[in-house]
C-alpha cells in the first residue's frame, strides 16, 4: 500500500518531503519540537497538511434536536480552540468543517458521507440521538472514519470506528438504583419513559436490576408515552394510586417540562415522593424551571456543580466564551472530552490514521476531564464515575453521592437483555 | 386502598379529563374559526400559539428584570398582549398571503405550512433553540388541596376558566354581533353576501386575525402546563386538527362536543392502559366514527 502511494506522489511533493527531513538530519539538536512529517503521520490520504489537520463536526444546528445539540457543538468548539491555543495536535492546528444534520437522520448519513469522502476529515465529533448514530454508523464503518459520540445511550453497540464518550445504560442506571434502594430504603418502583429505544432499553435494564438484584424490591408500574406528549394528569393519578417508593423517569424533550410542571401542580413534591431521573441535566432544568424540579434526584456522570479544579477551569472557560448564563449538562461535558481524547490518542499512536487510532484508543487517559479522570476501555466506551445530584431551585444540582470507583462500561450486559 | 382514597383519585381523574377538555377546546377554537368558517387549512396555527407563549415569556423576563413589582400580576396583561400580537401577525399574513389563495384551499395548506416552517426558524434564530419556560406568578403554581390526599391543580383550573371565557366570548361574538352576522353570511354564501353589501374581504381578514389571536391566547395559557420552544407548535397542530375535524368543520358546538369526547376518551383510557395504547385506542375510535360520519359529529345544516 505505502509503495503505491509513494509512486503517486508528485515529484514536487517528494522534494518538499525530502527538504523537510533535511533539518532533522542536519540539526538533530534543534529538531526536537519540529512536527513529524506528514507522510509519516498520514498514510491514508486524510486532510492533513504540514500545518493543519481537518476534522468534522456533525450536529443538528436546526430542527427539533437543536435544543439539545447546541451545548455539544459549543463544548467541542471550546475544546478545539483550547487545543489549538496549546499548539494543536502533532504540531498541526485543527480546522473544523461544521455540517448541520438538521434533526433529520438521512441528512446525517449524507453529511457524514460528505465529511468522510469529499473532505477526508481525520475525525468527526458529532451525533446526539441514537437514531442519528445508527444512521451514520454503516458509513463510518465502510469509509473507515472515526466518530466521537457524546450522548449517554442505551448500549448494545460497539464499533471500531466510534468512541462513546457518554455513559452506556448500565453505568448510568445500576449504581443509581443501588443508591436509591440503600439510602431511601426503596422497595417499590414506578418506571416512566418516552416511547422509543433509549427509555425502553433503559427500563428493561432497570426492571431486571430491581427484580433480580435488589432484595425484596418490585416494579409496580411501567409506562411509556409518545414523544412530545404534554398531558400527564392521568399518569400522575395512576402513580398516586400505585404509591411507589420511587418514581424512575426517562422522559425526554419537551414532555419533560409538562411532566414536572404537572407533578408539582398535582401536589407531588420532593417532600412527599422520591424521584430519580436519568434524563434531566442542567440543560433540561432550564426549560422545566428549578422550582418545579427542586429536591428530585438525577443519576449522571457529570454535574456543573462538581467541585474539582478541572471543572472550575472548564466552567469558567465555557462561560467566558458563551456568556455567564450558559449552563453545562452531562452531554455537553462528554462532548468536550471528544477532541481531547482524540488528541491524546493521535499523540500516542503518532499518527492520524484511523486504524492506528482505533488500536491505540485502549487505556487512553484524560486527566484534565471536568468530570474527574476518565479512561477509554477496550470496548471504546469510557470508564467513569456515576453521581447522584439533587436539583436545586436555582437550576443547578447538588452532588449528594458518587460511586467510589470508576465504573466499567459494559455495553452488552449479560442477564440484562 | 381505602374507599376515601379511591374517591380522591376518582375525583382527580375526573378533573384531569375536564382539564384536558379545556386544553383541547382552547387549542381547537382558533382553528375552528379559520378552518371551519373560512375553509383555510391553517398549518401555521401551532406557530401562532407559540407566538402567544413567547409573549408570556417576554413579559415574564421583562417584569422580572425591570419591574419586580409586577411579577405577580403580569400574566393577565401578557395574555391580552398575546392575543393582540398574534392578531396583528394574522392580519398581516392574511393580507400578504392567504387572500390570494381563497379559491385554492389545498394551496393554503402548503402556503401556511411554509409560513409555519419560516416562523419556526425565526424563533430558533432570534429567540434561541433552547426551550424556555416563563417564571409563573406564585398564585398559578401548586395545587388546591381541600383535604388530605386530594390535590386539584391550580393551573388546570386557570386554563378551564380561561377556556370558558374565550369560548363564551367567541360564541356571543359569532351569534350576537355584527361581525358574527357577516361571518355567518359569508360562510353560507360568499357571492350573495358580497352582493348585499358585506365586505367579504374585510370580514375574512378580521376572521383570520381573530382566529390567530385566539391561538395566541391558547399558547399563552399552555405556558402554565408545558414549555415553549421553536417547535412547540407542531406538537399541538395534530390535536387541534383532530378536534376540529372530528367535531364537524363548520360547527363551533361540534368543536366543543368533540373536544369533550376526545378528552374523556383519552384520559379514561390512559388511566386503565399504557399511554401509547390509550392514544392508539383514541385515534382508532375517531377514525371509525369519521368513517361512518365523514362530516364529523355536527354537520352544518346549510345546503352548499
Q: What are the chain B neighbours of A262 within 8 Å (beta carbons)?
A: 153, 225
Q: What is the ipTM of this complex?
A: 0.82
Whether residue B65 lies inside any domain: the answer is yes
Sheet holding A93-100: strands in order across?
A93-100, A52-59, A124-126, A147-149, A162-164
Class of domain A39-167+313-383: alpha beta
* Per-residue pLDDT tens digits for A268-324: 999 999 999 999 999 888 878 888 899 999 999 999 999 999 999 999 999 999 999
Whether residue B7 lies inside any domain: the answer is no
142-201 of A, contacting B, C-beta below 8 A: 195
Phi, psi of B246 (to 5 degrees): -65, -35
Whether A48 and A94 have beta carbons less than 8 Å apart is answered as no
Whether B158 and B56 have beta carbons less than 8 Å apart is answered as no
Residue in chain A closest to B278 (alpha carbons) equals A225
Name the residue facing B267 among A195, A234, A266 (closest C-beta). Answer: A234
Q: What is the pLDDT of residue B18?
A: 92
Q: Number of folded domains in chain B? A: 1
Q: Where are the beta strands (DSSP E) in B96-244?
A: 143-144, 152-153
Which range marks the domain in which residue B205 is found?
A: 19-143+152-292
Q: What is the pLDDT of residue A2?
A: 43
If you average pLDDT over each of A252-256, A261-265, B130-134, which comes out highest?
A261-265
134-153 of B, contacting A, C-beta below 8 A: 135, 141-143, 145, 151, 153
B180: contact with A, CB 8 A cutoff:
no
Question: Tens-digit pLDDT profile for chain B (304 aa)?
Answer: 688 888 888 888 999 899 999 999 998 999 988 887 788 889 999 999 999 999 999 999 999 889 888 888 899 999 999 999 999 999 999 999 998 988 787 888 999 999 999 999 899 888 887 778 888 888 888 888 888 888 889 989 999 999 999 999 999 998 999 989 998 888 888 889 999 999 988 999 999 999 999 999 999 998 888 878 888 888 888 889 899 889 887 778 889 999 999 999 999 998 988 888 888 999 999 999 999 988 888 876 655 4
Q: What are the chain A neighbours of B145 within 8 Å (beta carbons)?
A: 267
Q: Which SS3 state, helix, strand or coil, does residue B30 take?
A: helix
- Domain spans of chain A? 8-34, 39-167+313-383, 169-300+386-402
Q: What is the pLDDT of residue A13?
A: 52
Is the pLDDT assigned to residue A46 strictly greater than 70? yes
B51 C-beta neighbours (distance < 10 Å), count: 26
Residue in chain B closest to A71 (alpha carbons) equals B130
Stronger pLDDT, B179 or A96, i.e. the higher one: A96
pLDDT tier at A27, thresholds 50, 70, 90 = very low
Whether residue B236 lies inside any domain: the answer is yes
Q: What is the mean pLDDT of chain A?
A: 89
Answer yes or no: do B279 and A226 touch at CB < 8 A.
Answer: yes
Whether residue B250 lies inside any domain: the answer is yes
Residue in chain A closest to B266 (alpha carbons) equals A234
Name the residue facing A262 among B135, B225, B268 (closest C-beta). Answer: B225
Helix count and strand count (H, E) for chain A = 15, 15
Is the pLDDT assigned to residue A416 strictly greater than 70? yes
In sequence order, the 6+-apart residues with CB closer than 8 A to the CB of B33 are: B170, B207, B210, B211, B214, B252
Closest C-alpha to B44, from B55, B57, B31 = B31
Q: Where are the beta strands (DSSP E) in A321-415?
A: 365-366, 374-376, 382-383, 387-391, 397-402
Same fold, A39-167+313-383 and A169-300+386-402: yes
Q: What is the pLDDT of residue B146?
A: 84
Strands A52-59 and A124-126, sheet pairing = parallel
Q: What are the chain B neighbours of A260 within 8 Å (beta carbons)?
A: none
B130: contact with A, CB 8 A cutoff:
yes
Whether residue B9 lies inside any domain: the answer is no
Whether A141 and A161 have beta carbons less than 8 Å apart is answered as yes
Of all residues in chain A, what percent carry a pLDDT higher than 70? 92
Average pLDDT over residues A62-91: 90
Closest C-alpha to B150, from A44, A267, A282, A294 = A267
Residue in chain A closest to B153 (alpha carbons) equals A265
* Per-residue pLDDT tens digits for A341-367: 999 999 999 999 999 999 999 999 999
Is the pLDDT assigned to residue A31 strictly greater than 70? no
Rounded to the nearest 10 degrees, the angle between the axes of helix B154-176 and helix B178-188 is 70
* Per-residue pLDDT tens digits for A207-220: 999 999 998 999 99
Whether B21 and B256 have beta carbons less than 8 Å apart is answered as no
Whether residue B5 lies inside any domain: the answer is no
Give residue A4's Cα distance to chain centre: 39
Q: What is the pLDDT of residue B227?
A: 79
| C-alpha cell belonging to residue B199 | 365586505
* Per-residue pLDDT tens digits for A238-247: 999 999 999 9
Q: Out of 3.40.50.2300, 3.30.300.30, 3.30.1600.10, 3.40.50.300, which CATH number does the structure's domain A169-300+386-402 have? A: 3.40.50.2300
A286: contact with B, CB 8 A cutoff:
yes
Give the CA angle between residues A92, A97, A101 to the nearest 5°: 145
Residue B75 belongs to domain with CATH number: 1.10.3470
Is the pLDDT assigned to residue A3 strictly greater than 70? no
Amino acid at each position: 500500500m505505502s509503495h503505491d502511494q509513494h509512486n503517486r506522489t508528485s515529484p514536487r511533493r517528494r522534494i518538499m518531503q525530502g527538504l523537510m527531513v533535511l533539518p532533522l538530519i542536519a540539526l538533530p539538536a534543534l529538531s526536537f519540537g519540529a512536527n513529524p512529517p506528514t507522510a509519516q503521520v498520514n498514510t491514508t490520504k486524510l486532510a492533513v497538511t504540514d500545518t493543519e489537520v481537518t476534522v468534522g463536526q456533525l450536529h443538528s444546528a436546526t430542527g427539533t434536536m437543536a435544543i439539545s445539540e447546541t451545548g455539544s457543538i459549543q463544548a467541542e468548539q471550546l475544546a478545539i480552540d483550547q487545543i489549538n491555543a496549546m499548539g494543536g495536535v502533532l504540531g498541526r492546528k485543527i480546522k473544523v468543517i461544521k455540517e448541520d444534520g438538521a434533526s433529520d437522520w438521512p441528512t446525517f448519513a449524507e453529511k457524514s458521507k460528505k465529511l468522510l469522502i469529499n473532505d477526508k476529515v481525520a475525525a468527526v465529533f458529532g451525533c446526539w440521538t441514537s437514531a442519528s448514530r445508527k444512521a451514520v454508523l454503516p458509513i463510518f464503518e465502510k469509509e473507515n472514519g472515526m466518530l466521537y459520540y457524546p450522548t449517554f445511550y442505551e448500549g448494545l453497540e460497539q464499533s471500531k470506528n466510534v468512541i462513546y464518550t457518554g455513559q452506556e445504560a448500565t453505568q448510568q442506571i445500576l449504581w443509581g438504583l443501588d443508591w436509591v434502594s440503600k439510602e431511601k430504603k426503596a422497595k417499590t418502583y414506578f418506571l416512566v419513559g418516552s416511547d422509543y429505544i433509549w427509555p425502553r432499553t433503559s427500563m428493561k435494564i432497570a426492571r431486571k436490576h430491581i427484580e433480580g438484584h435488589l432484595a425484596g424490591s418490585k416494579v409496580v408500574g411501567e409506562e411509556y408515552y409518545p414523544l412530545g406528549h404534554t398531558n400527564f394528569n392521568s399518569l400522575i393519578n395512576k402513580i398516586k394510586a400505585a404509591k411507589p417508593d420511587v418514581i424512575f423517569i426517562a422522559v425526554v424533550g419537551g414532555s419533560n417540562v409538562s411532566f414536572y410542571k404537572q407533578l408539582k401542580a398535582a401536589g407531588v413534591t420532593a417532600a412527599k415522593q422520591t424521584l430519580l431521573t436519568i434524563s434531566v441535566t442542567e440543560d433540561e432544568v432550564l426549560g422545566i424551571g428549578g422550582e418545579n424540579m427542586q429536591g428530585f434526584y438525577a443519576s449522571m456522570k457529570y454535574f456543573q456543580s462538581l467541585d474539582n479544579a478541572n471543572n472550575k477551569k472548564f466552567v469558567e472557560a465555557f462561560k467566558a466564551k458563551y456568556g455567564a448564563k450558559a449552563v453545562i449538562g452531562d452531554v455537553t461535558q462528554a462532548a468536550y472530552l471528544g477532541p481531547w481524547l482524540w488528541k491524546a490518542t493521535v499523540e500516542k499512536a503518532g499518527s492520524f490514521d484511523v486504524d492506528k487510532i482505533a488500536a491505540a484508543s485502549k487505556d487512553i487517559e484524560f486527566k484534565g476531564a471536568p468530570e474527574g479522570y476518565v479512561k477509554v476501555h477496550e470496548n471504546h466506551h469510557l470508564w467513569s464515575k456515576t453521581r447522584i445530584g439533587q436539583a436545586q431551585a436555582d437550576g443547578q444540582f447538588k452532588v449528594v453521592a458518587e460511586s467510589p470507583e470508576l465504573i466499567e462500561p459494559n455495553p452488552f450486559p449479560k442477564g440484562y437483555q | 386502598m381505602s374507599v376515601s382514597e379511591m374517591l380522591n383519585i376518582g375525583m382527580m381523574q375526573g378533573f384531569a379529563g375536564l382539564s384536558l377538555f379545556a386544553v383541547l377546546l382552547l387549542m381547537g377554537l382558533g382553528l375552528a374559526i379559520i378552518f371551519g368558517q373560512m375553509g383555510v387549512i391553517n398549518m401555521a396555527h401551532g406557530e401562532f400559539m407559540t407566538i402567544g407563549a413567547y409573549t408570556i415569556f417576554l413579559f415574564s423576563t421583562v417584569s422580572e428584570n425591570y419591574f419586580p413589582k409586577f411579577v405577580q400580576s403580569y400574566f393577565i396583561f401578557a395574555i391580552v398582549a398575546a392575543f393582540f400580537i398574534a392578531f396583528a401577525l394574522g392580519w398581516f399574513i392574511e393580507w400578504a398571503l392567504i387572500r390570494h389563495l381563497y379559491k385554492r384551499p389545498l394551496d393554503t395548506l402548503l402556503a401556511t405550512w411554509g409560513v409555519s416552517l419560516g416562523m419556526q426558524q425565526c424563533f430558533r434564530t432570534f429567540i434561541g433553540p433552547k426551550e424556555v419556560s416563563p417564571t409563573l406568578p406564585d398564585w398559578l403554581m401548586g395545587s388546591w388541596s381541600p383535604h388530605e390526599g386530594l390535590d386539584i391543580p391550580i393551573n388546570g383550573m386557570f386554563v378551564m376558566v380561561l377556556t370558558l371565557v374565550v369560548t363564551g366570548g367567541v360564541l356571543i361574538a359569532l351569534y350576537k354581533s355584527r361581525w358574527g352576522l357577516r361571518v355567518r353570511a359569508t360562510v353560507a354564501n360568499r357571492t350573495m353576501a358580497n352582493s348585499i353589501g358585506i365586505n367579504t374581504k374585510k370580514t375574512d381578514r378580521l376572521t383570520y386575525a381573530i382566529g390567530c389571536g385566539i391561538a395566541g391566547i391558547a399558547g399563552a395559557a399552555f405556558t402554565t402546563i408545558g414549555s415553549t420552544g421553536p417547535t412547540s407548535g407542531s406538537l399541538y397542530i395534530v390535536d387541534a386538527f383532530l378536534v376540529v375535524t372530528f367535531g364537524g368543520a363548520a360547527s363551533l358546538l361540534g368543536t366543543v362536543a368533540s373536544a369533550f369526547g376526545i378528552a374523556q376518551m383519552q384520559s379514561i383510557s390512559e388511566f386503565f392502559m399504557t399511554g401509547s395504547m390509550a392514544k392508539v385506542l383514541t385515534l382508532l375510535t375517531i377514525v371509525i366514527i369519521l368513517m361512518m360520519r365523514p362530516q364529523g359529529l355536527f354537520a352544518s345544516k346549510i345546503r352548499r
